[in-house]
Structure 1
């Protein structure tokens, strides 16, 4: 089809997939649009998959079936031909971002003016790590560790808050996907509340539970999103494969955990795609460091594992690898997730949907929450997909960081209290 041939000229994925030299100028998206397309039936899905397979479009979501919408980035020279293609296929669409670069500029970190940690702006890895170190130095109930090194040699840091002997622990994990900046921003917001808030309920939670936080699982990818390619998702290890654009880099580390690894997921076996899960499980040093760290604690100590991602406003429970198989305590987990949703909606009216990720979102294998539940026997695990529901998607403006932190903290308080009622911490 001539239209699809023309779409193949789009250069975006060439930049997104194979850019390896961090000295190159940052990739820009001036006048690039984000289209939300609605796939209603199987015929449209087949044609949409053909477009994805044979062109250089950047589709931001895994293609998971019909009755769903997908966000697609299209360059300025191809707006008309892309719209003609969708019209030809009777696929409904709307433009949700007219100039992606303008949106990105609104939340770009200015290293010349950046100094102290706060939650009105996105920050560099250096500022985030400096803040962790400062808080550890200031409070004797905090313990900072380097739990491992990334492929490029950056520290993977953890911080443990423990004010009382004999507590059970809750682990919060952030930024396993590089482009999801709101993840580490939210995790550090929660940690700051636990340390510095005067709210008596939050301080009670900081007394009665230990909190283990790994705010940056993917430091290499995160730095890459700041310096070269804002849309990068994976880590930065060369994966040994090439395509027409050159060497392919990275593994989607939330597809690399050794629990039902490789069984399901869109393009998890394509080494040059955003969702490549690796040749085998547990190939990435960052994942091994995280797993070793979790395993270093006594069995039964960590009672909840929460991974923070963007976007969609979900609380996703095990399992991801199936939409027909559910955990033995699924009903209990649903009650706890419902408490989070009820708490989180209160501050600003943000609704969260909850349920098994394979049922609600899409079937995918090798995720952290499933490994934590299925291998480490942690009785409540989940992935929290943060704001929003598709207006800004992965590029949430920084002026919403504090609101996200407020609503998620409210949800977390309700979740922990409900989990305690359910005996999770017994």
Structure 2
């Protein structure tokens, strides 16, 4: 009996230690989000140094002057941050007074059914994918690989007719961009279950290949530990004063002009670290192998969904002067998406080469899909909004985002067909 009691006590102690080791979710009570406007190179040089002296979280790649950058600052450093901005004569405004209140407005119920009125955790998304796969014989569902922590990366291929060309869609390569997988699953649900004649036609005339969650480890981490996490969760072999550094920005890790442009892509502890070399991440390799498993010429469009800014970003990202041979054609197709999306609720999407329009960045999925796999129309769709909520878009906008994107997709596919993309 004493042995049993001792074992029970040891088990309880082990459980208590495990619970103690599990990190509590980060909270952002009274954290503010500042929008700063950097006018010139002199301000930019000093702005880049701020994170060395006080604790801040910059939400964007820093590329150049004449741009705005959103910065999260906790209550302990807000006064100091404002003083620095004033000393630098940097214009700013506070766009979120209490970040935790904003995050709480999109809190989710883990027991709720899958819908597009709230954000959902990974298990709920995957359960819904499995249910759809079991219910429809025109769906081919695969696990294309596993993440660093062993989670499956699932795919759905919808094909109702032999001989169709395919459109490839991927979501949530960046963990914190919850609206990405929400929108991708909305599109997939419409293709599978909608009675809308336009969506039914798209599902009959084209094959659709969907990977709703490229970064499952990072996504789970944003739900359980750190809402602001961007990268995957592989220990990258480096450390700083806070301890080991984790993760690679997987949309900087594709082997096409890798490491050619971007801010802090060489800082292994930063949000945008692209790795010591390209193609290091098992999630990226699984995605590339999956794309490459199809016959050449079958996939005619590759679309990556991200947040935020309301852009349709075309190749290339690494340059402001180099453009694809069929860039004019791609611009006409992107314009069709923007027109269709705007018809729904008036949301305006800007379109053009990402290096020219947004900021130079290299190693992105869309550029690899175009430059290596020769897919003739590729893009990154940056979803709502233009900055009012940014990465923390409230869940009550998910359905509207889904509607406007599906309307944009209808127009995009029709225009791409007119342009001969699917020939």
TM-based fold match above 0.5: yes
Which whole-Å CA distance do the structure 2 matches of 1:171 and 1:34 have between them?
A: 35
- Over residues 236-288 of structure 1, what are the superposed CA-to-partner deviations in whole Å (9 max), with x where a residue is unaligned? 00000000110000000000000000111110000000000000000000000
Q: Which residue of 1 aligns with 2:268?
A: 271
What is the CA distance between 1:23 and its match in structure 2? 1.2
| Distance in 1, Cα, partners of 2:213 & 2:315 | 22
Number of aligned residues: 404
**CA distance in structure 1 between the partners assigned to 2:171 and 2:241 by the alignment:** 33
For structure 2, the residue ranges without an aligned partner over 5 or more in a row are: 1-19
Name the SS of the counterpart of 1:229 in structure 2.
Answer: coil
User: 2:77 is paired with a residue of what secondary structure?
Assistant: helix
1:318-373 residue CA offsets vs partner (Å, 9 max, x unmatched): 00011100000000000000000000001111000000000011111100000000
- Alignment-derived partner of residue 56 in structure 1: 55
Shift of 1:53: 4.4
| Matched residue, 2:365 | 368
Superposition map of 1:238-317 within 5 A: 238-317=235-314
Worse-matched range after superposition: 305-314 or 78-87 = 78-87
Match of 1:67 in 2: 66
**Structure 1 pair 217–22 and aligned structure 2 pair: CA distance change class (3 A):** farther
| Mapped partners of 1:140, 1:208: distance in 2 | 17
Question: SS in structure 1 opposite 2:351?
Answer: strand
In the alignment, the residues of structure 1 paired with residue 343 and residue 302 of structure 2 have an alpha-carbon distance, to the nearest angstrom, of: 23
**Whole-angstrom distance in 2 between the partners of 1:278 and 1:318:** 21
Report whether the alignment pairs 1:387 with 2:398. no
Correspondence for 1:29: 28
2:147 to 130, 150, 158: 150
| TM-score (norm: length of structure 1) | 0.94
The Cα of 1:54 is off from its aligned counterpart by 4.5
Q: Does 1:216 align with 2:218?
A: no
Among residues 120, 123, 127, which one is paired with 1:126 in the alignment? 123
TM-score where L is the length of structure 2: 0.94
Runs of at least 4 residues off by over 4 Å: none
Cα separation, 2, equivalents of 1:75 and 1:131 = 37
Structure 1 pair 48–32 and aligned structure 2 pair: CA distance change class (3 A): same
Q: Give the secondary structure class of the aligned counterpart of 1:107.
A: coil
Superposition pairs of residues 337-416 of structure 1, within 5 angstroms: 337-416=334-413
Secondary structure, in 3 states, of the residue corresponding to 1:134? helix
Please name the residue that 1:183 is paired with: 180
Q: Distance in 1 between matches of 2:109 and 2:219?
A: 15
Aligned to 2:48, the other structure's residue is in SS state: helix
Determine the C-alpha separation between the residues in 2 that align with 1:379 and 1:23: 46
| Matches of 1:401 and 1:115, distance apart in 2 | 16
Cα distance in 2, alignment partners of residues 285 and 326 from structure 1? 30
Shift of 1:180: 0.1
Task: Look up the match of 1:102.
Answer: 101
Aligned-partner SS, 1:292: helix
Residue 80 of structure 1 deviates from its aligned partner by 1.8
Once the two structures are TM-superposed, the CA of residue 32 in structure 1 deviates from its matched residue by 0.1
- Specify whether residues 22 and 96 from structure 1 end up closer, same or farther in structure 2 by C-alpha distance, changes over 3 A only: farther
Partner of 2:45: 46
CA drift of 1:22 comes to 7.6
Q: Deviations over 1:48-80 (max 9, x none)?
A: 011134443100001011111000001112222
2:76 corresponding residue in structure 1: 77
8 Å contact kept, 1:316–1:355: yes
Match of 2:192 among 195, 214, 228: 195
2:380 partner SS: strand
**Partners in 2 of 1:76 and 1:53 — Cα distance?**
17
* Distance in 2 separating the partners of 1:406 and 1:159: 21
Provide the rounded CA distance (Å) in 2 between the counterparts of 1:242 and 1:80.
29
Q: Work out which of the two has the higher radius of gyration on C-alpha atoms and give 1 or 2.
A: 2
The 1:54/1:366 distance shift into structure 2, 3 A limit, reads farther
CA contact (8 A) 1:262 1:277 kept: yes
Question: In 2, are the aligned partners of 1:22 and 1:227 still within 8 Å (CA)?
Answer: no
Name 1:159's counterpart in structure 2.
Answer: 156
**How many Å separate the matches in 1 of 2:296 and 2:54?**
48
Match of 1:16 in 2: none
Q: Assess if the C-alpha contact under 8 Å between 1:178 and 1:233 holds in 2.
A: yes
Taking only aligned residues, the RMSD between alpha carbons, in angstroms, comes to: 1.0
